[in-house]
Protein backbone atom coordinates (compact mmCIF):
# COMPACT_ATOMS: atom_id res chain seq x y z
CA UNK A 1 0.00 0.00 0.00
CA UNK A 2 1.43 3.37 -0.96
CA UNK A 3 1.52 6.28 1.47
CA UNK A 4 -1.22 8.27 -0.31
CA UNK A 5 -3.72 5.40 -0.01
CA UNK A 6 -2.72 4.72 3.60
CA UNK A 7 -3.15 8.41 4.48
CA UNK A 8 -6.57 8.55 2.82
CA UNK A 9 -7.75 5.47 4.71
CA UNK A 10 -6.47 6.82 8.02
CA UNK A 11 -7.99 10.27 7.49
CA UNK A 12 -11.43 8.73 7.00
CA UNK A 13 -11.54 5.69 9.27
CA UNK A 14 -9.73 7.22 12.26
CA UNK A 15 -12.73 9.53 12.72
CA UNK A 16 -14.61 6.66 14.32
CA UNK A 17 -14.38 5.54 17.97
CA UNK A 18 -11.01 4.15 19.05
CA UNK A 19 -10.61 1.06 21.22
CA UNK A 20 -7.51 -0.58 22.69
CA UNK A 21 -7.27 -4.27 23.55
CA UNK A 22 -4.63 -6.40 25.32
CA UNK A 23 -2.92 -9.40 23.77
CA UNK A 24 -5.23 -12.41 23.56
CA UNK A 25 -8.51 -10.48 23.41
CA UNK A 26 -11.14 -12.05 21.14
CA UNK A 27 -12.68 -9.28 19.02
CA UNK A 28 -15.14 -11.41 17.07
CA UNK A 29 -16.41 -14.86 17.96
CA UNK A 30 -17.22 -17.63 15.50
CA UNK A 31 -20.83 -17.33 14.26
CA UNK A 32 -20.92 -13.70 15.41
CA UNK A 33 -21.46 -11.30 12.50
CA UNK A 34 -20.85 -7.70 13.63
CA UNK A 35 -22.44 -4.67 12.00
CA UNK A 36 -19.11 -2.86 11.93
CA UNK A 37 -15.52 -3.37 10.84
CA UNK A 38 -12.27 -2.91 12.74
CA UNK A 39 -9.67 -0.52 11.30
CA UNK A 40 -6.38 -1.52 12.92
CA UNK A 41 -3.79 1.17 13.63
CA UNK A 42 -1.49 -0.68 16.06
CA UNK A 43 -0.77 -4.33 16.81
CA UNK A 44 -1.80 -7.55 15.03
CA UNK A 45 -5.00 -9.61 14.87
CA UNK A 46 -5.26 -13.26 13.88
CA UNK A 47 -8.21 -14.79 12.06
CA UNK A 48 -8.53 -18.47 12.91
CA UNK A 49 -10.70 -21.56 13.15
CA UNK A 50 -10.54 -24.34 15.75
CA UNK A 51 -9.79 -27.91 14.68
CA UNK A 52 -11.59 -30.99 15.98
CA UNK A 53 -8.65 -31.44 18.38
CA UNK A 54 -9.21 -27.96 19.79
CA UNK A 55 -6.12 -26.47 18.11
CA UNK A 56 -6.15 -23.02 16.53
CA UNK A 57 -5.70 -23.04 12.75
CA UNK A 58 -4.71 -19.57 11.56
CA UNK A 59 -6.25 -18.35 8.32
CA UNK A 60 -4.85 -14.82 8.18
CA UNK A 61 -3.03 -12.15 10.17
CA UNK A 62 -4.03 -8.48 9.98
CA UNK A 63 -1.64 -5.62 10.62
CA UNK A 64 -1.97 -1.82 10.17
CA UNK A 65 -3.56 -0.35 8.12
CA UNK A 66 -5.92 -3.29 7.47
CA UNK A 67 -9.67 -3.24 8.06
CA UNK A 68 -11.77 -6.34 8.64
CA UNK A 69 -13.97 -8.42 8.34
CA UNK A 70 -14.82 -7.19 4.85
CA UNK A 71 -16.37 -10.39 3.47
CA UNK A 72 -19.18 -10.18 5.99
CA UNK A 73 -19.65 -6.46 5.35
CA UNK A 74 -19.69 -6.75 1.54
CA UNK A 75 -21.39 -10.12 1.00
CA UNK A 76 -23.38 -10.50 4.24
CA UNK A 77 -21.95 -14.00 4.59
CA UNK A 78 -22.09 -15.70 8.01
CA UNK A 79 -18.81 -15.41 9.91
CA UNK A 80 -17.08 -18.77 10.48
CA UNK A 81 -13.97 -17.52 12.26
CA UNK A 82 -12.56 -16.09 15.46
CA UNK A 83 -10.58 -12.83 15.45
CA UNK A 84 -8.11 -12.40 18.31
CA UNK A 85 -5.34 -9.92 19.10
CA UNK A 86 -1.78 -11.28 18.84
CA UNK A 87 -0.33 -8.20 20.55
CA UNK A 88 -1.68 -5.15 22.34
CA UNK A 89 -3.86 -3.64 19.62
CA UNK A 90 -5.55 -0.35 18.75
CA UNK A 91 -8.54 -0.22 16.41
CA UNK A 92 -11.29 2.12 15.27
CA UNK A 93 -14.86 0.81 15.11
CA UNK A 94 -16.45 1.71 11.75
CA UNK A 95 -20.10 0.96 10.88
CA UNK A 96 -20.42 -1.34 7.87
CA UNK A 97 -22.45 1.12 5.82
CA UNK A 98 -19.87 3.88 6.40
CA UNK A 99 -17.00 1.59 5.36
CA UNK A 100 -18.81 0.47 2.21
CA UNK A 101 -19.72 4.04 1.30
CA UNK A 102 -16.07 5.05 1.70
CA UNK A 103 -14.96 2.26 -0.65
CA UNK A 104 -17.59 3.13 -3.28
CA UNK A 105 -16.60 6.80 -3.19
CA UNK A 106 -12.87 6.03 -3.47
CA UNK A 107 -12.10 3.60 -6.33
CA UNK A 108 -8.35 3.87 -5.64
CA UNK A 109 -8.89 2.49 -2.14
CA UNK A 110 -11.18 -0.21 -3.52
CA UNK A 111 -8.54 -1.21 -6.08
CA UNK A 112 -5.87 -1.35 -3.37
CA UNK A 113 -8.12 -3.58 -1.25
CA UNK A 114 -8.71 -5.87 -4.23
CA UNK A 115 -4.95 -6.04 -4.86
CA UNK A 116 -4.30 -7.03 -1.24
CA UNK A 117 -7.05 -9.66 -1.42
CA UNK A 118 -5.38 -11.24 -4.46
CA UNK A 119 -1.98 -11.24 -2.75
CA UNK A 120 -3.58 -12.89 0.25
CA UNK A 121 -5.24 -15.49 -1.98
CA UNK A 122 -1.88 -16.30 -3.57
CA UNK A 123 -0.49 -16.94 -0.10
CA UNK A 124 -3.44 -19.14 0.85
CA UNK A 125 -3.17 -21.15 -2.37
CA UNK A 126 0.55 -21.64 -1.79
CA UNK A 127 -0.18 -22.82 1.72
CA UNK A 128 -2.83 -25.23 0.37
CA UNK A 129 -0.36 -26.72 -2.13
CA UNK A 130 2.21 -27.27 0.62
CA UNK A 131 -0.45 -28.69 2.93
CA UNK A 132 -1.60 -31.23 0.36
CA UNK A 133 1.67 -32.30 -1.21
CA UNK A 134 4.69 -31.21 0.83
CA UNK A 135 6.60 -32.63 3.77
CA UNK A 136 6.35 -31.22 7.29
CA UNK A 137 9.71 -29.52 6.78
CA UNK A 138 8.59 -27.85 3.55
CA UNK A 139 5.33 -26.66 5.12
CA UNK A 140 7.18 -25.17 8.06
CA UNK A 141 9.75 -23.46 5.81
CA UNK A 142 6.90 -21.93 3.81
CA UNK A 143 5.27 -20.53 6.96
CA UNK A 144 8.61 -19.12 8.13
CA UNK A 145 9.04 -17.45 4.75
CA UNK A 146 5.59 -15.85 4.91
CA UNK A 147 6.25 -14.66 8.46
CA UNK A 148 9.65 -13.24 7.49
CA UNK A 149 8.25 -11.33 4.50
CA UNK A 150 5.27 -9.88 6.34
CA UNK A 151 6.48 -9.33 9.89
CA UNK A 152 10.26 -9.80 10.02
CA UNK A 153 12.25 -7.03 11.74
CA UNK A 154 15.61 -6.40 10.11
CA UNK A 155 18.68 -6.58 12.34
CA UNK A 156 21.89 -4.62 11.81
CA UNK A 157 23.62 -7.67 10.33
CA UNK A 158 20.87 -8.17 7.71
CA UNK A 159 19.16 -11.06 9.48
CA UNK A 160 15.46 -10.98 10.31
CA UNK A 161 13.91 -11.32 13.76
CA UNK A 162 10.55 -13.10 13.94
CA UNK A 163 8.54 -12.51 17.09
CA UNK A 164 6.82 -15.89 16.96
CA UNK A 165 6.62 -19.05 19.05
CA UNK A 166 6.52 -22.70 18.08
CA UNK A 167 2.87 -22.76 19.15
CA UNK A 168 2.09 -19.94 16.69
CA UNK A 169 3.98 -21.69 13.90
CA UNK A 170 2.04 -24.88 14.57
CA UNK A 171 -1.24 -22.94 14.27
CA UNK A 172 -0.13 -21.36 11.00
CA UNK A 173 1.12 -24.60 9.43
CA UNK A 174 -1.64 -26.86 10.76
CA UNK A 175 0.83 -29.12 12.57
CA UNK A 176 1.35 -30.26 16.13
CA UNK A 177 3.80 -28.38 18.33
CA UNK A 178 5.86 -31.55 18.68
CA UNK A 179 6.27 -31.80 14.91
CA UNK A 180 7.21 -28.13 14.66
CA UNK A 181 9.77 -28.49 17.45
CA UNK A 182 11.36 -31.50 15.73
CA UNK A 183 11.54 -29.77 12.35
CA UNK A 184 12.86 -26.52 13.86
CA UNK A 185 15.79 -28.45 15.36
CA UNK A 186 16.65 -29.92 11.96
CA UNK A 187 16.35 -26.56 10.17
CA UNK A 188 18.46 -24.94 12.88
CA UNK A 189 21.16 -27.56 12.31
CA UNK A 190 21.29 -26.54 8.63
CA UNK A 191 22.17 -22.99 9.66
CA UNK A 192 19.12 -21.25 8.15
CA UNK A 193 17.87 -19.98 11.50
CA UNK A 194 18.64 -19.78 15.17
CA UNK A 195 16.45 -19.63 18.28
CA UNK A 196 16.85 -16.81 20.79
CA UNK A 197 14.97 -15.63 23.88
CA UNK A 198 13.32 -12.94 21.71
CA UNK A 199 12.18 -15.23 18.91
CA UNK A 200 13.47 -16.83 15.72
CA UNK A 201 16.31 -15.25 13.74
CA UNK A 202 16.37 -15.90 10.00
CA UNK A 203 20.02 -15.57 9.09
CA UNK A 204 19.60 -15.35 5.31
CA UNK A 205 16.23 -14.70 3.64
CA UNK A 206 17.50 -15.73 0.20
CA UNK A 207 18.64 -19.07 1.56
CA UNK A 208 15.31 -19.56 3.31
CA UNK A 209 13.54 -18.92 -0.02
CA UNK A 210 15.69 -21.54 -1.74
CA UNK A 211 15.06 -24.03 1.08
CA UNK A 212 11.28 -23.39 0.88
CA UNK A 213 11.29 -23.88 -2.92
CA UNK A 214 12.88 -27.26 -2.28
Whether 129 has a pLDDT exceeding 70, the answer reads: no
Q: Choose the final residue of a domain: 62, 96, 125.
A: 125
The answer to whether residue 36 is domain-embedded is yes
| Domain that residue 151 falls in | 136-213
| 114, 25: one domain | yes
Query: Residues 142, 5, 10, 28: what is their CA dihedral angle, to the nearest 10 degrees?
Result: -40
pLDDT at 214 over 70: no
106 and 156 fall within a common domain: no
Whether residues 15 and 109 share a domain: the answer is yes
Same domain, residue pair 111 and 169: no
The number of distinct structural domains making up the chain is 2
Q: What's the pLDDT tens digit per position in 137-174?
A: 888 888 888 888 888 888 888 888 888 888 888 877 77
Residue 96 lies in a domain: yes
Q: Are both 189 and 106 inside the same structural domain?
A: no
Tell me: do 110 and 157 sit in the same domain. no
pLDDT (0 to 100) of residue 128: 67
Whether the model clears a pTM of 0.75, i.e. scores above it, the answer is no
pLDDT at 131: 64
- For residue 89, pLDDT beyond 90: yes
| 87 and 118 belong to one structural domain | yes
Same domain, 62 and 30: yes
Q: Is the Cβ–Cβ distance between 167 and 183 less than 8 Å?
A: no
Whole-number pLDDT of residue 92: 97
Give the 3-state secondary structure of residue 44. Answer: coil
More confident call, 170 vs 55: 170
Residues linked to residue 21 through DSSP beta bridges, in sequence order: 89
As a whole number, mean pLDDT of residues 6-21 equals 93
pLDDT at 82 over 80: yes
Q: Evaluate whether residue 130 is within a structural domain.
A: no
Q: What is the pLDDT of residues 97-114, one digit of tens each?
A: 999 999 999 999 888 888
On the 0-12 / 13-18 / 19+ scale of CB atoms within 10 A, 183 is: buried
For residues 115 and 166, state if they share a domain: no
For the segment 20-28, the average pLDDT, to the nearest whole number, is 95
Residues 106 and 197 reside in one and the same domain? no
Amino acid sequence: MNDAIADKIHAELSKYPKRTYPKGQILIFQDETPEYIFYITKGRVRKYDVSYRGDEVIVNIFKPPAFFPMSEAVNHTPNRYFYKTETATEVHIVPNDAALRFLKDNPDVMLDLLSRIYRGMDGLLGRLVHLMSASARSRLLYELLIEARRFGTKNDDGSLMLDITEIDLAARAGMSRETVSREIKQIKASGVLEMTSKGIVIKDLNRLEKEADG
